[in-house]
């Protein structure tokens, strides 16, 4: 299918990503990495001056650093070189309104996770997405790593047999003590983050990764969420036991109070014929356990990698690729979608709904100590 977009870079605007934001700049780098996309505009902050300041840092045309989303959408709509999509990189409570505005204006959306602040909002958003003509996608970043894609392909191909056990962990330490950094403040504020703290910030990443690589859905969970640092309204440490649709049992351990841990997302999946083990901090390697007891280190660049993983690497083996490149792989998928192609592995609203269901189910089940709870989207 031919499109006027074929001959040019796609254009996008950031919503959020103002001064002090970490993720705004990450989106910009990731989106532009493959020269498929360029940042041309933004409503970087609800404060006009700060939005302009961020626009200057990003080297965006000053006329396109807007004070708010509505203004931006109106202004861009009438430009011949107007935006093709927005990226939403705000605290969670802005996700729904921003996505709604864009989609209703016929502008595609790439959104930070979790999809929204609450499950109810996510259901509303799902309806909007269903009625929209343009794509909506979600940056569950870790699914963009080439060796995560490789793991998924191998599991799907039966390399480890029937999945029997899943352990996914995500330890961090940056919230181990009371802090009032900007990054911490909104994540621990129910008004901006929603009902989940750690579970919503990183637990959903771990959850998505586990479902993404196994290709299996979690159907039940036992949850134990805690606020370890006194005075917090939201959880900063979570432990969940999981049951998958095929009967496999699993555990999900996420924490933000484990001093010395940085971003230790790790996924282990075992089946009746083998196992795999992947760690985000050494992302270019996959440990593969074979049924005969052999242990193999599969690495980026290896000839044994499948086509999907290989296509998502930009350098030869031994040249480490990392977080930004994984993030860029999601944008590459998104660009493919926008140009009329397919991107079956790119997370979308269905994944967003499941994540929100996880958060709310875990929060309620933990609070009520109600034992095994069904995970219903």
Q: Restricting to residues 176-205, which ones interact with a copy of itself according to CB under 8 A?
A: 176-177
Query: Would you state the structure tokens that stand for residue 122, as one six-digit string?
Result: 């996510």
Give me the least distance between CB of 350 and a copy of itself, in Å please: 26
The backbone torsions φ and ψ at residue 310, rounded to the nearest 5 degrees and listed phi first, read -60, -40
* Among candidate residues 103, 160, 147, the one with its CA nearest the CA of residue 265: 147
As beta bridge partners, residue 88 has: 15, 111
CA 262 to CA 173: how far, in whole Å? 6
Give me the least distance between CB of 315 and a copy of itself, in Å please: 6
Query: Judged by CB under 8 A, which stretch of 46-54, 79-87, 127-135, 369-377 contacts a copy of itself?
Result: 369-377
CA 252 to CA 245: how far, in whole Å? 16
Query: Judged by CB under 8 A, which stretch of 65-73, 104-112, 207-215, 319-327 contacts a copy of itself?
Result: 319-327
Residue choice 275, 347, 348, 355 for contact with a copy of itself (CB under 8 A): 275
Q: Using the minimum distance from each CB to a copy of itself, give the nearer residue, 34 or 189.
A: 34
Residue choice 3, 71, 181, 291 for contact with a copy of itself (CB under 8 A): 291
> Is 323 a binder of a copy of itself (CB under 8 A)?
yes
> Is 74 a binder of a copy of itself (CB under 8 A)?
no
Cβ burial of 258 (10 Å; 0-12, 13-18, 19+) is: buried
> Is 53 a binder of a copy of itself (CB under 8 A)?
no
3-class SS of residue 62: helix
CB–CB of 298/313 below 8 Å?
no
> Is 292 a binder of a copy of itself (CB under 8 A)?
yes
The answer, yes or no, to whether the previous bond of 48 is cis (omega within 30 of 0) is no
Residue choice 289, 312, 332, 354 for contact with a copy of itself (CB under 8 A): 289
CB–CB of 170/264 below 8 Å?
yes
The binding track of 3-32 with respect to a copy of itself, each residue x by CB under 8 A or -, is: -----xx------------x--xx-xx--x
Residue 64, CB-side half-sphere exposure with 13 Å CA sphere: 21
> Is 280 a binder of a copy of itself (CB under 8 A)?
yes
> Is 165 a binder of a copy of itself (CB under 8 A)?
yes
Q: Using the minimum distance from each CB to a copy of itself, give the nearer residue, 71 or 304.
A: 304
Q: Using the minimum distance from each CB to a copy of itself, give the nearer residue, 74 or 319.
A: 319
Query: Judged by CB under 8 A, which stretch of 114-122, 184-192, 285-293, 346-354 contacts a copy of itself?
Result: 285-293
CA 353 to CA 127: how far, in whole Å? 11
What secondary structure, in 3-state letters, does 199-229 show? HHHHHHHHHHHHHHHHCCCEEEEEEEEECCC
Query: Judged by CB under 8 A, which stretch of 63-71, 88-96, 109-117, 163-171 contacts a copy of itself?
Result: 163-171
The binding track of 212-251 with respect to a copy of itself, each residue x by CB under 8 A or -, is: ----------x-x-x-x--------x-x-x-------x-x
CA 182 to CA 278: how far, in whole Å? 31
């Amino acid at each position: 299918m031919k499109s006027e977009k074929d001959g040019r870079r796609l254009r996008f605007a950031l919503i959020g990503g103002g001064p002090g934001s970490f993720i705004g700049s990450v989106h910009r780098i990731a989106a532009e990495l493959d020269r498929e996309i360029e940042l041309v505009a933004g409503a970087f902050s609800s404060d006009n001056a700060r939005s302009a300041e961020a626009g200057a840092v990003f080297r965006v045309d000053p006329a396109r650093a807007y004070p708010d989303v509505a203004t931006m959408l109106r202004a861009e709509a009438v430009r011949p070189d107007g935006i093709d999509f927005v990226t939403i990189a705000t605290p969670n409570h802005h996700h729904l309104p921003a996505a709604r505005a864009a989609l209703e204006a016929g502008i595609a959306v790439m959104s930070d996770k979790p999809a929204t602040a609450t499950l109810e909002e996510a259901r509303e958003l799902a309806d909007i997405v269903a009625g929209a003509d343009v794509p909506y996608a979600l940056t569950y970043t870790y699914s963009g790593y080439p060796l995560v894609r490789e793991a998924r392909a191998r599991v799907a191909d039966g390399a480890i047999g029937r999945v029997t056990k899943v352990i996914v962990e995500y330890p961090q330490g940056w919230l181990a003590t009371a802090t009032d950094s900007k990054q911490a403040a909104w994540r621990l504020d129910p008004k901006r983050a929603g009902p989940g703290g750690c579970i919503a910030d990183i637990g959903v990443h771990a959850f998505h990764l586990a479902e993404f690589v196994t290709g299996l859905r979690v159907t039940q969970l036992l949850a134990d969420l805690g606020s370890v640092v006194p005075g917090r309204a939201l959880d900063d440490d979570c432990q969940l036991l999981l049951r998958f649709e095929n009967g496999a049992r699993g555990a999900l351990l996420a924490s933000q109070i484990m001093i010395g841990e940085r971003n230790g997302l790790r996924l282990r999946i075992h089946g009746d014929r083998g196992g795999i083990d992947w760690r985000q901090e050494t992302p270019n390697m996959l440990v593969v356990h074979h049924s005969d007891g052999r242990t193999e280190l599969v690495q980026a660049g290896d000839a044994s990698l499948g086509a999907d993983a290989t296509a998502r690497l930009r350098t030869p083996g031994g040249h480490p690729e990392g977080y930004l490149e994984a993030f860029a792989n999601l944008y590459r998928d998104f660009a493919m979608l926008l140009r009329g192609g397919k991107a079956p592995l790119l997370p979308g609203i269905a994944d967003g709904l499941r994540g929100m269901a996880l958060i709310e189910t875990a929060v309620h089940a933990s609070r009520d100590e109600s034992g095994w709870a069904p995970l219903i989207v």
